[in-house]
Every structure is written in structure tokens, then in C-alpha cells.
Amino acid sequence: EDIPSLAETYIDYFPIGAAIEPFQTTGLISDLLKKHVNWLVAENVMKPDALQPSEGNFTWENADRIVEFAKANDMELRFHTLVWHSQVSDWFFIDLDGKPMIDETDPEKREANKQLLLERLDNHVRTIVERYKDDIISWDVVNEVIEPGTPDGMRESEWYQITGTDFIETAFRAAREAGGPDIKLYINDYGTDNPVKRDRLYELVKKMLDKGVPIDGVGHQTHIDIHGPSVSSIIESMKLFSELGLDNLVTELDMSLYSWNDRSDFGDDIPEEVLMKQAERYQELFEAFREHKDILSGVVFWGIADSHTWLHSFPVNRTNAPLLFDHQLHAKPAFWAVVDPSKLP
């Protein structure tokens, strides 16, 4: 298909990326990636459970495939993610007696467990950052630690229950020490447009920066849908963090065809007007991104084509089409909306 390159179209604005699995480094998908994006991120294979499934046993093979693909094609890679409450192996949180750390009630043992967990984390972060620091500049250090509904706005993960916010501090400091001053360290989350969540994130980041924790920027996942949230709320959030001197990245962009609590399924027949509505919203979003390129330094999609997306199985199994290319890897109206709206049907 003789169509413009997405990344080239945006060359004067910001890099464009996509999340991929190792199998997508070959075949037609890899050609699509090479043509349209200049950044990549691993969708799953750089997560804690993938890289250190058991203590001291680091498994690099899948991650290395993506590193090699990026290098061979002059693409930059982002790292996702050093710390997360999900896709992390249980061994991190098991104490030396084989018991879950969160069940411990004795204060002295709790403190010892905390130190043990922070040591394990420190080692996880340093080992990975040392291996990839020359290949990867941009790092998601912690992912999804904010939960607006809790008393102090922190997700009550095992990390948090055992260490408080110390795991965040440890992860950022270890990454900086191992990676040096040039790598960029991000705190990544979804729903950062929601004012309540955004302000909780802001409070945490401010507190960390005041303590000298090396945070360079905020990753806004931006898993949105064709009905919401408003583009202005997305931009407002970026403005707020840029006032703190932080960088902003859109790290996991996609646009579901269904609103958040809708469980319906278009099946094989996605109505034309739904795809046009999606295109309209993508157009509005990217107009705003271009206008605010000074506070936004990259836009990464969570996938490249509708043939492979987490939204086929979340929150239920159904047809979804959140990206710019369709199941057959052809450009959708959403692609033209972002690249050249005059070509829209």
C-alpha cells in the first residue's frame, strides 16, 4: 500500500511508537512497524515476571529479540516496566521462612521483610538497567501505583503494603545509579486525565522530587475510548506535570470502540459510523498533541494493528478495533485522521 509513513509525518513533532511482542519482529507486521514507527516498547516481555521468573534467574531471550529488532532498524526502544503489581512473580513477596510477607504481624520481622524486598527490588532494577542502559533511554520505572479511592491515594499492592512508598524511591534511585544521568525515568499510569487521580499522582511526584528522587517524567497510558475522556482533560494533565519541570509521554495509546462499562460486542460488523467517530476523535487528539508538542515528547500506541490488541480479551472477549490499522493491516479512517484528514472518506 502506497501510503505516507506515520512516523515521517510526525518527524517535526514527536516520535511515534508501538508496543510489540517478539513474534511481531518478523513477517508483515514487522514491515508495517518499520514503515510507520520509530519507537518500540515490549508489550509483555520486559515485565518483572518475564525477566526474573525466579530469584536470580534472569531470562533475556525474548526481551533481547525486541532489542535486536529495534537496533537493526534504527528504532528507539522504551522499557516497560521495572516495577508493577501485576505480572510480577510471587517469590519477591515470600519471606525467608517461605511465608507471604504481607501475613507477617511481628514488627521486627516486618521490618526485616521490608528490607529484604527492597534489596530484591534494587537488584532487579540494577541488573536490568545495567544490561540495557546503552540500548534504552526511556524507562517506565514504576507502573500504576496510584489508586484514587484509597485513603492516601496509593494502590494497596504488595509493594506498598510491605514497604510504603519506599519501593518507588528505591526503584528510581537504583535505576539512576545503574543507568547514569542520560537515561530518562518515568512514572507511568492510566487515567491521568481524571482530576482526582491526576492530583494524587501530582502529590506523590512532588513529594518524591522534594526528596531528591530522580523522576524525569510522567507516562500517560491514555487507554481511552470513542466517548471519553475529553481531549482537553488529557492536555490539562500534561500541562500540570510540565509545570513541575517534568517531561510527558503518551505511553500506551489506544481507543476502544466501547465506553468503559459497556459490555456489548459489534462482532464482525463494526458500523462505519463508529469507525468514523473514532477517526474524528483521533483527529482532535492529534491536533491537540501537535499543538502541545513542547510539553509532549513522544506518542506510543499500545499495538500497531487491530489484529493484535489486549482489548480483544478485556474486559470481555469481543471484537475491538482501537488502533490505526485494521485486522488486514490496512490503514483505517483513524490513520487518515492522524496523517492527512483531507483523505478521509
Would you name the residues annotated as active-site residues? 252
Of 163, 185, 164, whose CA–CA distance to 174 is shortest? 185
Rule CB under 6 A: say whether 254 interacts with ligand G3I: no
Given the complex with ligand G3I, which of 114 and 197 has the nearer CB atom? 197
Rule CB under 6 A: say whether 86 interacts with ligand G3I: yes
Given the complex with ligand G3I, which of 9 and 44 has the nearer CB atom? 44
Collapsed DSSP state (helix, strand, coil) of residue 305: strand
- Are 126 and 178 in contact by the 8 Å Cβ rule? The answer is yes
Taking the CA atoms of residue 41, residue 47, residue 51 and residue 55 in that order, the dihedral angle to the nearest 10 degrees is: 160
Question: Which residue in the shown chain puts its C-beta closest to ligand G3I?
Answer: 310
Q: How many CB atoms lie within 10 A of CB 336?
A: 20
Rule CB under 6 A: say whether 43 interacts with ligand G3I: yes
How many Å apart are CA 143 and CA 219, to the nearest integer?
9
In DSSP terms, which residues pair with 91 in a beta bridge? none
CA angle 6–250–167, rounded 5-degree value: 145
Chosen residue from 221, 237, 256, 278 binding ligand G3I by CB under 6 A: 221
Site string for ligand G3I, 273-312 (x = CB under 6 A): -------------------------------------x--
The reply to whether omega before 322 is within 30° of 0 (cis) is no
Chosen residue from 54, 57, 87, 264 binding ligand G3I by CB under 6 A: 87
Site string for ligand G3I, 172-211 (x = CB under 6 A): ------------------x---------------------
Chosen residue from 76, 104, 247, 252 binding ligand G3I by CB under 6 A: 252
- Are 275 and 334 in contact by the 8 Å Cβ rule? The answer is yes
Given the complex with ligand G3I, which of 42 and 337 has the nearer CB atom? 42
Rule CB under 6 A: say whether 150 interacts with ligand G3I: no
Question: Least CB distance from residue 42 to ligand G3I, whole Å?
Answer: 9
How many Å apart are CA 272 and CA 63, to the nearest integer?
38
Binding-site size for ligand G3I (CB under 6 A) equals 9
- Cell 488529557, residue? 234
CA angle 56–59–65, rounded 5-degree value: 155
Rule CB under 6 A: say whether 320 interacts with ligand G3I: no
Contact residues for ligand G3I, defined by CB under 6 A: 43-44, 86-87, 143, 190, 221, 252, 310
